[in-house]
Amino acid sequence: MESTLPVVVIGAGPQGLAAAAHLVERGVPIVVLEAGDGPAAAVAEWSHVRLFSGWSELIDAASARLLQPTGWTAPTEGYPTGAQWISRYLAPLADVLGDRIRYGARVVGVSRLGRDRTIDADRGTQPFTVHVESADGDEYRVHARAVIDASGTWASPNPAGADGMPALGERASADLLTYRIPDAREREAYEGKHTVVIGSGHSAITAVMTLARMARRDPATTVTWCLRRATADNAFGGGEADELPARGALGTKVKALVDAGLVALETGFRVERVARRSDGVTLVAEDSRTLEADRVVVLTGFRPDLSFLSEMRLELDPTLQAPTRIASEVDPNVHSCGTVAATGAADLTHPEPDFYIVGAKSYGRAPTFLALTGYEQVRSVVAELAGDHAAARRVELVLPETGVCGGAGAFDGAGSFDGAGGACCAPPAQVLQIGRAPAAV
């Protein structure tokens, strides 16, 4: 394969931009393909949300080195909103990367030149062909020596249905459901109405807190928080045990709102049907309980979009849809988020040589991905692609301890994350709280 071919990075979110910065620093030709019309397009969709990580946990080291000659100064204090993350770091980084980034470039397929996934002969010596659809509908291909998929999961939210499929009637009521955290500036959509929030992650907690503040101003505004799990145990996070203080405080605050009666809590509510009414919807649970709502906020986590990777030979865990070598480390049925080890190139390999999934998408359906985790992933992957195998094997990250994910049996499909990896956060994820106090994404 020609060494002059570029490495293609899919997604110009936090992890994709970081991968690009590491590649530039090592002198590797790159092309970044971003479906949106600007950098961090997914982050822009939750720009009103404040992250639970401080600035030191949101800036990649190679990216900072690339920015320094421009006179850029790294922010050092506070918890930024998504908008601030973009304006003070991600957009300046994208400006430095310049025309290496192609916007309005949606990847619709990745394959090997002249080889579908069934062909073995000379497969590893053929360049990748990345099929792209432009914003105006044109199609073209980019040949690459390697591909880093940092497209995230933001565009693939989990449905309200408890079995992983859209609940009966969910699609027909799509205009009354949202899969995004409400913006406090959109009060007219929620004030004076009853909103049901489905989910138990930090995104759901943030939504509940935002709506509860509206309810405090307007008694006609009511909020019900639905958990799929049978009890509220672990629903309020790690509290003071969380080494990300803003995230721990988030759970403590929402518990106070529930205790004060500003938020009604329903446990064991697993949605089976969404029945549309003339003035809203009725949610029907598997146990036949019902809830009437004017609006429904569905925040039950995210899943990877694997549709454009159908010609890639991937090795994915059958449960989480994460690379098999990291699945056991991120499985929320086994681990608390803080017990997860840092992952690198060796953990992210697939039977398809020189193809890597990084960022939130590498966690598959597991929740609570951290931006720092992704930065360590791309550092290691780029080192491997550059031939610096010693650096690729080295671990340069220590994650904070936290008890917010809970142990075996606590996971209900809800997810949140700090830093949308690529076209997304994250879970977050996304991770959030709106208002003066720092929140979580």
Report the alpha-carbon angle 80-241-301, nearest 5.
Answer: 60
CA atoms of 441 and 418, how far apart (whole Å): 5
- Statement: 7-155+303-393 belongs to CATH 3.50.50.60: yes
**Quick one: tokens of 128?**
């990748």
CA atoms of 103 and 35, how far apart (whole Å): 6
pLDDT at 259: 86
pLDDT tens digits, residue range 103-154?
Answer: 999 999 999 999 999 999 999 999 999 999 999 999 999 999 999 999 999 9
Contact 41, 64 (CB under 8 A): no
Q: Does residue 243 register a pLDDT over 70?
A: no
How confident is residue 247, by pLDDT bands cut at 50, 70 and 90? low
Q: Do domains 7-155+303-393 and 171-298 have the same CATH topology?
A: yes
In the chain, domain spans: 7-155+303-393, 171-298
In CATH terms, the superfamily for domain 171-298 is FAD/NAD(P)-binding domain (3.50.50.60)
Report the alpha-carbon angle 95-100-104, nearest 5.
Answer: 85
Q: Does residue 190 register a pLDDT over 90?
A: yes
pLDDT at 53: 84
Listing from the earlier edge strand, what are the strands of the sheet with 105-112? 105-112, 128-134, 139-144
Instruction: Give residue for tokens 């994350």.
Output: 417
Look up the pTM and report it: 0.87
pLDDT at 201: 82
